[in-house]
Amino acid sequence: MAFLAAALDRVKPSATIAVAQKARELKAQGRDVIGLGAGEPDFDTPENIKQAAVDAIARGETKYTPISGIPQLREAISKKFKRENNLDYKPEQTIVSTGGKHVLFNAFMATMNPGDEVIIAAPYWVSYPEMVSLCGGTPVIVETRQEDGFKLTAEALEAAITPKTKWFLFNSPSNPTGGAYTRAEVKALTDVLMRHEHVWVMTDDMYEHLVYGDFTFTTPAEVEPALYERTLTVNGVSKAYAMTGWRIGYAGGPLKLIKAMDMIQGQQTSGACSIAQWAAVEALNGTQDFIPKNRAIFQGRRDLVVSMLNQANGIDCPSPEGAFYVYPSCKGLIGKRTESGKVIETDEDFVTALLEAEGVAVVHGSAFGLGPNFRISYATSETLLEDACSRIQRFCGSLR
């Protein structure tokens, strides 16, 4: 009898975490490594949010919390949805979990039966299909095209829907591409969903505040209110508020789904960290002044990276609308040889050889379901980004 669960055969380790770990190991060995694999803002958590946590500790807010979150945070989430997304979720229609990943996992665990399908556009965040598989569902991967901005078309969504489809998992702005859907593009997708009443929408809005230029963010239930009763709107404080380590994600949705997720969480982790929840109250209710400032910094970094990568031999890097990633193609380098004679046959070969030759750690696109590309996170200083892009230019120029 096998000791480990058969479910483990259906999942793979997180490639993004593996790249970050490899970069840390090489640094520990004394290598000069620039890690561009982690999806984490380099900004510190704002002082008012940190102070709210300190104050909560001083008040003794150190006990177990209600499973779905402290009332003050659920109220703040309800107000945030109304203020920023024009969505009416009562506090009891919200849930707080240990990060956005936990929210998604709870929703799948509460709804998936064997044979249920979840439509996921590729490239996708590495954890999406693995979570579906772990919860007994079947990920249905639909490839997008660079010429469409790596965005799913209405026609492709329509073609992927079957009687077994339970969820359409939507992510805008996207990890890994940074692509963001305009209101018209969201409307085209929701028009399809309106014709298929058995399909629910799980929308991951984690990068909502990181959109550039005059781009306006919208979310599916806001664009098509008739989808409200079958939409789970997922968000969190990690990216916009530079609170990755605080581990607070949240969602709003129909009461029956939120109650089911509450039951799962009650047997799994119970409430999220009490101190982190009080910090999140301040994040959502307090000043938002730093968000446009950080966004401007990110936009400058995006423009720098896109410009420098497009100057590298064989690299084609689109300029994305949001998040803090670029997803350049290395198609022009497939088949070339490194100075040591190794043939670059895949995007994984490319990122491995780049790390070995120049000490730049990026994530291969095939880990996100679509290559030959690679993902760079530009959530680090311009100095490091310039150095890293110069190394990439040098490496690409050395290939023959």
Assigned domain for 54 exists: no
pLDDT of residue 14: 78
Tokens 């707080």 — which residue? 96
Q: Which CATH number do you get for residue 382?
A: 3.90.1150.10
* Structural domain of 295: 6-44+290-398
pLDDT, tens digit, 9 for 90 and up, residues 145-176: 999 999 999 999 999 999 999 999 999 999 99
- 191 and 267 fall within a common domain: yes
C-beta separation of 379 from 39 below 8 A: yes
pLDDT of residue 26: 82
Assigned domain for 108 exists: yes
Q: CB within 8 A of 222, min separation 6: which ones? A: 85, 86, 87
- 107 and 256 fall within a common domain: yes
Phi, psi angles (nearest 5°) of residue 29: -85, 0
Assigned domain for 226 exists: yes
- 112 and 155 fall within a common domain: yes
Assigned domain for 101 exists: yes
pLDDT of residue 290: 97
Residue at a domain's end among 246, 265, 285: 285
pLDDT of residue 17: 77
pLDDT of residue 258: 98
Mean pLDDT of 204-218: 98
- 68 and 178 fall within a common domain: yes
- 279 and 311 fall within a common domain: no
pLDDT, tens digit, 9 for 90 and up, residues 68-107: 999 999 999 999 999 999 999 999 999 999 999 999 999 9
Q: Which CATH number do you get for residue 67?
A: 3.40.640.10
- 247 and 332 fall within a common domain: no
Assigned domain for 229 exists: yes
Residue at a domain's end among 242, 266, 285: 285
Assigned domain for 236 exists: yes
SS3 297: helix
Assigned domain for 125 exists: yes
Assigned domain for 224 exists: yes
d(CA 155, CA 53): 47
Is the model's pLDDT at 16 over the cut of 80? no
- 264 and 374 fall within a common domain: no
- 84 and 231 fall within a common domain: yes
Mean pLDDT of 341-358: 94
First to last CA, the chain: 52
Query: In this structure, which amino acid lies at residue 54?
Result: V
- 281 and 294 fall within a common domain: no
Token pair in block for residue 198: 């058995």
pLDDT of residue 380: 95
Tell how many helices (H) and how many strands (E) occur in the chain.
Answer: 13, 12
Residue at a domain's end among 252, 285, 318: 285
- 220 and 89 fall within a common domain: yes
- The bridge status of strand 249-252 relative to strand 94-97 is antiparallel
Overall number of domains in the chain = 2
Q: pLDDT confidence of 304, banded at 50, 70, 90?
A: very high
Token pair in block for residue 29: 């060995």
Query: In this structure, which amino acid lies at residue 135?
Result: C
What element of type H or E holds 283? helix 274-285
Q: pLDDT confidence of 208, banded at 50, 70, 90?
A: very high
- 28 and 80 fall within a common domain: no
- 367 and 320 fall within a common domain: yes
